[in-house]
Amino acid sequence: MTLATVFRVLRKNLIWLLLFPVMVTCTVAYLTGDLPRSYIATATVYTGFASGMSIVENNTKTTSQEIGNAFDNLITTIKSRETLTEVSLHLLAYHLSLRKASPDKLSKKSFDDLQKLRNTELKGVSVGYNELATLKKLERLAGAQDGNAIKKLLYQSNSPYSVESILGRITVSRKNSSDMLELSCKADDPAICQQTLVFLIDTFQKRYQAIRASENGTVVKYFENQAQTIQQHLKSAEDQLTDYGVQNKIINYAEQSKYTAEAKEATSTEYVHEKMQQQAAQASLVALERKLDDNASVLLANGDVTKKRNELAKIQTRLANAMVYEQPPAEIAKLQATTDQLSAELKVAVRRLYNSTNTVESIPKQDLLTDYVEQTLKLQGSNARLNVLKTRVQEYAGIYNDLAPQGSAIHRLERKIGLAEQEYLFVLHGLNMARLRQKDLEMTGSMGIIDAPALPMKSQPSIRSMLVAVSFIGSLVLLIAVLLGKEVVNGSIQTPERAEQLSGIPLAAAFPLISKLFARYDLDYIERCMVEKLRTRLLIDITVPDTDEWPPYRLITLLGTQEKQGKTWVGERISHRLVKAGHRVCYLYPADAEEKPETDAQTIAYPVNSDFADTRTVGVLLQGVEAADLPEFDYVFLELPSLLTNAMPVHLVGQSHLSLLVLHAKSTWSKADEGLKVLVEKASHHALLTVLNGVEADLLEPLLGKIPQLKKKKSSKAAQPKPLDLV
């Protein structure tokens, strides 16, 4: 759409562009004449989200996104249904407890409205003038499952106590990038503005703190339960280790295993050393036995000697056990003394017995016997110690077999205890942090009020003037949009350019629309110019072949694909102009036409019969009609009926020197029109031109240049064009 088209549409609808906005503006001004005054109360609350102090150590810096989330959560809490319901109940209970109106508590109008509700819907709701008792009753009614007057007032009314009303009147926003939260409330009663904010601040502070405390309390409870559970697991693991140690007589496995290894090594070394002493004593004893005679053997077999030897062997065995098993030193010393005493007694007994049975010459053998006794005692002692050491080595082997699986079991239990301890310490740390966070919330949860809600003393500027201005501008813009939109979606031909573009046929002329809307233009001049232009095209485009097949007159066919396209109107103008120019003109029109053409040319009506499409010559149409002979005419205009409702006389169209397709600017060009145009082009052997009728005068500038306007305003009759005497 071009700018010229926009101006044309606006100029065409100038009256409506002035009248419609004025009507809308007057209506809005009338309806807003009694708008109530509005008041706004404001408050500022310090949140401490960004710069508040905390007892919790936090090395990470709070991001702007986290601060924004905190403000979003707080604003959501403020605007939640539960918060606003509680505010509404507090406000209603407070007002129901008032005995009379007061500017700082409730205006006279609001008090009277509340009294009406108190005597009707809220009858019996208030508990005297007790605010607290009334509030409890209101909360009970609001929480009831069935419907009641309080629920209807809260959720289904337009009163200042409804949740939707409060939500629509309050505004909550963060002040720039600070920790401040700005709240405002708008109402037609200044006291309601102030009290709504007072109750709102108190309510959302309690709710927000409770929500945060509840959230952290859940965390604390979780860590407490986890700590208790893990502590039980830890105690169970420790009890298992204790029971295992008691059952297996283990005090300190590491020390016990170390001691056992060292003791086994010492015992093994001592066993080898003792084995060497045994072999040495046995070798010495064998050597002494070779030197002694049989009497010495008999002496050693004496009963007293044997008894002493047996006692000594027992004592030596006991001494070896005491030394291997590391009995108290006193016990070892006692056994050692007994062993020494028995050894001495045995030696004395053998020597006494030998002296009683031998002479002085046998003294050297006595020394050998003494050595033999000593070696025998050594061998017995060594055997006793070897037996004890061997038993001890076997015991250590058994202890090793027991300690090996015990070590794995103890390590497994200790690892279980270690994991339980780590888990317990981790949970305990989380519990301490959660409790610290809980304490931090208790200390920092309350928000400071920077600016408390004050009673507004001055009403807000009335929006009536703004509504009036907006209504005027809005209605004007809306009307312009509708007009331009209508112009855009208009599918009619409208302009000469579109007529040529849609039909694909050259345009011969375009005639203006006769309407009071265009009375300012010189329509007579426009029509005269277009008739002359059409006449010129006829003279240029009509060619008469020099053959007998063509009639001597010039046959011009007026076509129209649809009804009421203006064929007769165009035919009247061009035929009238040719008559005035001195030509003999005949105008043929259908006999069923609504009106007879008004022209100075000779008009003849022809019947449209069922065989009209088969008509071969124009003369056939005039059979039985008293009229002049057609060859006497210079021009014959043949107006055909609508091609959509009647068959086209192909032969007549083919004999035409020129065919004029008349279109109306308000009509649309459809596929049916395109199909009929193709048939006409096939039937016609000469030029086919388009004549556009009913064009708005200001759209004819491309054909005429600047459209001339009348200098003086004419009457409505003068504005109507009449048959022209074109010379």
Whole-Å CA distances, 103 to 108, 193, 453:
8, 12, 15
**With 60 as the cut, is the pLDDT of residue 302 above it?**
no
**With 60 as the cut, is the pLDDT of residue 438 above it?**
yes
Whole-Å CA distances, 371 to 14, 334, 352, 381, 551:
158, 25, 15, 15, 183
Whole-Å CA distances, 656 to 49, 53, 192, 440, 531:
93, 102, 89, 104, 20
Q: What percent of the chain has pLDDT over 70?
A: 83
Q: Tally Cβ neighbours within 10 Å of residue 362.
A: 15
What mean pLDDT comes out for the span 534-538?
89
Cβ–Cβ under 8 Å, residues 32 and 467: yes
Encoded tokens for 357: 């049975």
Predicted local confidence at residue 557, as pLDDT: 92
pLDDT in tens, 667-704: 888 888 888 888 888 888 888 899 998 888 878 888 88
pLDDT in tens, 306-319: 676 677 777 777 77
Encoded tokens for 478: 């809306």
Name which residue leads in pLDDT, 357 or 575.
575
3-state secondary structure of 422: helix
**With 90 as the cut, is the pLDDT of residue 166 above it?**
yes
Q: Tally Cβ neighbours within 10 Å of residue 461.
A: 10
What distance in Å separates the CA atoms of residue 453 and residue 83, rounded to the nearest whole number? 18
**With 80 as the cut, is the pLDDT of residue 324 above it?**
no
Predicted local confidence at residue 34, as pLDDT: 73
What distance in Å separates the CA atoms of residue 153 and residue 137, rounded to the nearest whole number? 15
Predicted local confidence at residue 292, as pLDDT: 58
Task: Give the sign of the dihedral formed by CA 95, CA 101, CA 102, CA 107.
Answer: positive
What mean pLDDT comes out for the span 84-96?
92
Cβ–Cβ under 8 Å, residues 558 and 662: yes
Residue 360 pLDDT class (50, 70, 90 cuts): very low
pLDDT in tens, 174-197: 988 888 999 999 998 999 999 999
Taking CB atoms within 8 Å and a gap of at least 24, the contacts of 406-411 are 406/244, 406/248, 406/250, 406/253, 407/253, 407/257, 409/244, 410/241, 410/244, 410/245, 410/250, 410/253
Lowest mean pLDDT among 37-41, 241-245, 529-533, 573-577: 241-245
Q: What percent of the chain has pLDDT over 90?
A: 14
The structure tokens 């304490």 sit at: 439
For residue 44, list its beta bridge partners: 182, 451
What mean pLDDT comes out for the span 429-455?
78
Backbone angles phi, psi at 119, to 5 degrees: -90, -10
Lowest mean pLDDT among 16-25, 584-593, 700-709: 700-709
What distance in Å separates the CA atoms of residue 637 and residue 635, rounded to the nearest whole number? 6
Lowest mean pLDDT among 260-269, 293-302, 322-331, 493-502: 293-302
**With 80 as the cut, is the pLDDT of residue 382 above it?**
no
What distance in Å separates the CA atoms of residue 157 and residue 149, rounded to the nearest whole number? 10
3-state secondary structure of 292: coil
| Nearest by Cα to 497 from 665, 637, 636 | 665
What distance in Å separates the CA atoms of residue 329 and residue 360, rounded to the nearest whole number? 44
Residue 726 pLDDT class (50, 70, 90 cuts): very low
Cβ–Cβ under 8 Å, residues 572 and 598: yes
**With 70 as the cut, is the pLDDT of residue 369 above it?**
no
Name which residue leads in pLDDT, 75 or 291.
75
Name which residue leads in pLDDT, 360 or 253.
253
Whole-Å CA distances, 305 to 88, 284, 382, 406:
120, 20, 19, 51
What torsion, rounded to 10 degrees, do the Cα atoms 191, 192, 197, 202 define?
A: 100
Predicted local confidence at residue 259, as pLDDT: 73
What mean pLDDT comes out for the span 13-19?
86
What mean pLDDT comes out for the span 203-209?
87
Predicted local confidence at residue 361, as pLDDT: 47
Cβ–Cβ under 8 Å, residues 534 and 508: yes
Predicted local confidence at residue 727, as pLDDT: 28
What distance in Å separates the CA atoms of residue 192 and residue 230, rounded to the nearest whole number? 56
| Nearest by Cα to 43 from 132, 170, 220 | 170
What mean pLDDT comes out for the span 156-172?
90
Whole-Å CA distances, 121 to 147, 151, 316:
13, 11, 116
Cβ–Cβ under 8 Å, residues 400 and 264: yes
For residue 585, list its beta bridge partners: 635
Lowest mean pLDDT among 64-68, 435-439, 506-510, 628-632: 628-632
What distance in Å separates the CA atoms of residue 393 and residue 519, rounded to the nearest whole number? 140
* Averaged confidence pLDDT in the chain: 80
pLDDT in tens, 463-484: 778 888 999 999 999 988 888 8
Residues 6+ apart with CB under 8 A from 577: 531, 532, 535, 726
3-state secondary structure of 25: helix
**With 50 as the cut, is the pLDDT of residue 228 above it?**
yes
What torsion, rounded to 10 degrees, do the Cα atoms 618, 624, 625, 631 define?
A: 40
**With 80 as the cut, is the pLDDT of residue 450 above it?**
yes
**With 60 as the cut, is the pLDDT of residue 136 above it?**
yes
**With 50 as the cut, is the pLDDT of residue 716 above it?**
no
Predicted local confidence at residue 714, as pLDDT: 47
Rg (CA), the chain: 66
What distance in Å separates the CA atoms of residue 354 and residue 293, rounded to the nearest whole number? 12
Domain-wise residue ranges, the chain? 1-35+466-490, 37-205+447-451, 253-443, 494-719
Predicted local confidence at residue 241, as pLDDT: 79
What distance in Å separates the CA atoms of residue 57 and residue 536, rounded to the nearest whole number? 100
What distance in Å separates the CA atoms of residue 40 and residue 142, rounded to the nearest whole number? 28
**With 50 as the cut, is the pLDDT of residue 718 above it?**
no
Encoded tokens for 691: 């004549």
Q: Which CATH superfamily is domain 494-719 in?
A: P-loop containing nucleotide triphosphate hydrolases (3.40.50.300)
Lowest mean pLDDT among 7-16, 38-47, 355-364: 355-364
pLDDT in tens, 117-126: 888 888 878 8
199 alpha carbon, distance to own chain's centre: 32
What distance in Å separates the CA atoms of residue 599 and residue 601, rounded to the nearest whole number? 5
Name which residue leads in pLDDT, 378 or 133.
133
What mean pLDDT comes out for the span 542-567?
76
pLDDT in tens, 51-74: 755 555 555 566 788 888 888 988
Whole-Å CA distances, 247 to 260, 397, 400, 401, 412:
18, 20, 17, 16, 16
**With 70 as the cut, is the pLDDT of residue 507 above it?**
yes
Can you list the alpha helix ranges (DSSP code H) found in 581-665? 618-621, 650-655
3-state secondary structure of 2: coil
For residue 640, list its beta bridge partners: none
Predicted local confidence at residue 724, as pLDDT: 39
Name which residue leads in pLDDT, 32 or 504.
504
What mean pLDDT comes out for the span 76-85?
92
What distance in Å separates the CA atoms of residue 443 and residue 88, rounded to the nearest whole number? 29
Predicted local confidence at residue 285, as pLDDT: 63
What distance in Å separates the CA atoms of residue 37 and residue 382, rounded to the nearest whole number? 125
Predicted local confidence at residue 83, as pLDDT: 93
Lowest mean pLDDT among 24-28, 404-408, 647-651: 404-408
